[in-house]
Structure 1
Amino acid sequence: MHSGGDTAKRLPVVLLWSQEFPTRDEAFDAERQIKGWSRAKKEALITGDWSRVIELAKNRQR
């Protein structure tokens, strides 16, 4: 049986957000970017609160 990294250690997993991308490369780029986000920013993404995502992005740039 293949162990899938950290996720296999934390089963069961619940999908909270997904988005389709035109290419696999674009999906990997988005995943890499989101993994670097703060928990608050990820939670805003999950709830669809784009104004909060933008606000948190601006705060990080300062």
Structure 2
Amino acid sequence: MVLRRALDDLAAILDERFLHTGAATAGVFATYACDHGGHKGARRVDASSSGREERRL
């Protein structure tokens, strides 16, 4: 539970200060991965769809 809260907090900070996706935690980390070299199969969340729609890059 503590780790989950820490990851949620980190995602919120990354999104607020740098990414501006408006996505949930998993979407923020997926966007971060894509922006920083990512990996094959990384996904970016489309924030215009309430942060729930993902598309493969």
TM-score for the superposition, normalised by structure 2? 0.34
Return the structure number with greater strand share.
Answer: 2
User: Relative contact order: is structure 1 or structure 2 higher (C-alpha 8 Å, sep ≥ 6)?
Assistant: 2
Which structure has the larger Rg over C-alpha atoms?
A: 1
TM-score for the superposition, normalised by structure 1? 0.32
Return the structure number with greater helix share.
Answer: 1
